[in-house]
């Protein structure tokens, strides 16, 4: 007995049983004779696919086609008889049978891990029928379009972009720019739907964290307006601004680790100070203040619109060229000036651009310093925004925290650079 062949057939049978278990449970209350397929039928179909794939070595691929066509004929006859009696024209079970056959064939060909993984995903999708259908009822057209646009960027546009350096100073890599756009869009997308799912009434602090996935500066402006308008919850709103700033620092580390992990050893200590000090302080304020749920709403647009994605691409394109131009014309000082200017409004674009540039000719130290300058300038800007928009009462709950984090980050950066 060939143990390899036996193992493949056993796994092919198990794959059919995995999918059939869900289908059998779904139709468990249907009367006898009205069930198109259950756990045993799916097990047999998976086994059939495995046997047919193994026989191709002796009989050629035609045996696999014959087996599939035979299965299709049986399924079609069964579907026709059952729909006549039940008037149920759904084809989910029939499609699952065909998938089970093909997964059994994959197993017979030795692609066991792939077949098992797809079988589990298929069973999960079948099992979450009600949840998936229910979720569609709560998605509006704008969110559906946003999802399709994100998929368009990630699955269609990105693979088509050339992966080579182009343009002046060979500064532009279209595929790298596309990756950065997809990264920013994905983070914003997750943050948007997290807020959409849980709502904004879960509290100021939760809103701050979720909002900071999109823009910590937007959180600061929104909380400042709320503080000035309502003249209450200053402590919690200040803690929320601090929490958003700390989340921004963590977001930088995550993004940089994806683009160029070589920057992390020198970047983690100072950026960790920008993250940990506000996070700890916000936690302490939340403990001291009874954090009752507040109807605090951060006005954040859905970022996954095609115009926004193209805007990010344009920003990255300009920054890539400016980084190389500044380096060529003014040396490191030019890059640092560009980082400071960019940090006034946005940290992600310049951080990702510098991280990508360090994969080329830009020295790691220059890239690290540029990212730190942008993050530090952005921290100062948030302290100023909280003071100007929200007033001194709000500022005293967040500005000292942000400035303390900035001081510790500067000190850490100074000592770790020597």
**In this structure, are residues 53 and 107 in contact, taking their beta carbons and an 8 Å threshold?**
yes
Amino acid 247: pLDDT: 86
Burial class (CB in 10 A: 0-12, 13-18, 19+), 382: buried
Name the more confident of 196 and 322. Answer: 322
- Degrees, nearest 5: CA angle 69-75-78: 145
**In this structure, are residues 188 and 303 in contact, taking their beta carbons and an 8 Å threshold?**
yes
Q: Label residue 294 by pLDDT band (50, 70, 90).
A: very low
Burial class (CB in 10 A: 0-12, 13-18, 19+), 257: middle
Amino acid 28: pLDDT: 57
**In this structure, are residues 211 and 191 in contact, taking their beta carbons and an 8 Å threshold?**
yes
Q: How far apart are CA 135 and CA 27, in angstroms?
A: 23
Query: From residue 268, how far is each of 248, 249, 415 by CA, in Å?
Result: 13, 10, 13
Q: How far apart are CA 270 and CA 341, in angstroms?
A: 20
Name the more confident of 8 and 79. Answer: 8
For the segment 136-148, the average pLDDT, to the nearest whole number, is: 70
Q: Is the pLDDT of residue 133 over 50?
A: yes
Strand partners for 172: 166
Amino acid 348: pLDDT: 73
For the segment 115-139, the average pLDDT, to the nearest whole number, is: 74
Minimum mean pLDDT range among 165-179, 258-272, 377-391: 165-179
**In this structure, are residues 354 and 323 in contact, taking their beta carbons and an 8 Å threshold?**
yes
Q: Which two tokens stand for residue 324?
A: 């190389």
* Helix or strand (DSSP H, E) at 36: none
Query: From residue 190, how far is each of 212, 213, 379 by CA, in Å?
Result: 11, 8, 23
Q: Label residue 357 by pLDDT band (50, 70, 90).
A: confident
Q: Label residue 327 by pLDDT band (50, 70, 90).
A: low
pTM value is: 0.53
Strand partners for 166: 172
Q: How far apart are CA 27 and CA 78, in angstroms?
A: 15
Complete DSSP assignment for 244-291: HHHHHHHHHHHHHHHH-GGGHHHHHHHHHHHHHHHHHHHHHHHHHTT-
Which tens digit of pLDDT belongs to each residue from 76-91?
Answer: 877 777 676 666 666 7
For the segment 327-351, the average pLDDT, to the nearest whole number, is: 72
Amino acid 167: pLDDT: 67
Among 38-42, 173-177, 256-260, 282-286, the range of highest mean pLDDT: 256-260
**In this structure, are residues 226 and 296 in contact, taking their beta carbons and an 8 Å threshold?**
yes
**In this structure, are residues 123 and 18 in contact, taking their beta carbons and an 8 Å threshold?**
yes
Which tens digit of pLDDT belongs to each residue from 234-252?
Answer: 787 888 888 888 888 888 8
Residues 6+ apart with CB under 8 A from 370: 335, 336, 338, 339, 350, 354
Q: Which two tokens stand for residue 323?
A: 């980084």
């Amino acid at each position: 007995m060939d143990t390899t062949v036996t193992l493949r057939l056993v796994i092919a049978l198990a794959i059919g049983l995995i999918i059939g278990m869900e289908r059998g449970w779904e139709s468990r209350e249907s009367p006898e004779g009205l069930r198109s397929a259950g756990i045993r039928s799916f097990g047999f179909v998976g086994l059939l696919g495995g046997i047919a794939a193994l026989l191709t070595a002796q009989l050629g691929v035609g045996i696999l086609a014959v087996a599939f066509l035979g299965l299709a004929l049986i399924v079609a006859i069964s579907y026709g008889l059952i729909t006549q009696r039940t008037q149920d024209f759904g084809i989910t079970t029939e499609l699952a049978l065909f998938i089970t056959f093909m997964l059994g064939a994959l197993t017979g060909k030795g692609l066991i891990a792939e077949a098992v993984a797809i079988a589990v995903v298929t069973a999960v999708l079948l099992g979450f029928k009600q949840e998936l259908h229910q979720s569609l009822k709560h998605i509006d057209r704008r969110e559906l379009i946003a999802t399709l646009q994100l998929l368009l960027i990630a699955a269609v546009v990105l693979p088509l972009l050339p992966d080579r350096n182009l343009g002046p100073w060979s500064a532009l890599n279209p595929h790298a720019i596309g990756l950065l756009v997809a990264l920013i869009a994905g983070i914003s997308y997750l943050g948007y739907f997290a807020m959409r799912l849980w709502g904004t009434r879960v509290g100021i602090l939760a809103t701050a964290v979720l909002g900071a996935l999109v823009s910590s500066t937007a959180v600061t402006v929104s909380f400042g307006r709320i503080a000035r308008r309502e003249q209450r919850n200053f402590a919690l709103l200040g803690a929320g601004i601090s929490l958003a700033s700390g989340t921004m620092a963590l977001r930088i580390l995550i993004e940089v680790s994806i683009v160029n992990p070589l920057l992390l050893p020198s970047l983690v200590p100072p950026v960790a100070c920008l993250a940990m000090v506000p996070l700890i302080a916000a936690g302490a304020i939340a403990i001291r203040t009874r954090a009752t749920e507040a109807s605090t709403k951060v006005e954040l647009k859905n970022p996954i619109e095609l115009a926004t994605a193209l805007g990010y691409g344009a920003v990255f394109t300009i920054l890539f060229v400016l980084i190389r131009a500044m380096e060529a014309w003014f040396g490191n000082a030019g890059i640092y000036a560009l980082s400071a200017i960019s940090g006034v409004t946005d940290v992600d674009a310049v951080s990702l651009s510098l991280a990508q540039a360090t994969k080329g000719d830009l020295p790691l130290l220059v890239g690290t310093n540029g990212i730190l300058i942008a993050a530090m300038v952005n921290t100062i800007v948030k302290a100023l925004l909280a003071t100007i928009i929200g007033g001194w009462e709000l500022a005293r709950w967040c500005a000292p925290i942000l400035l303390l984090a900035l001081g510790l980050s500067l000190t850490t950066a100074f000592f770790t650079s020597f």
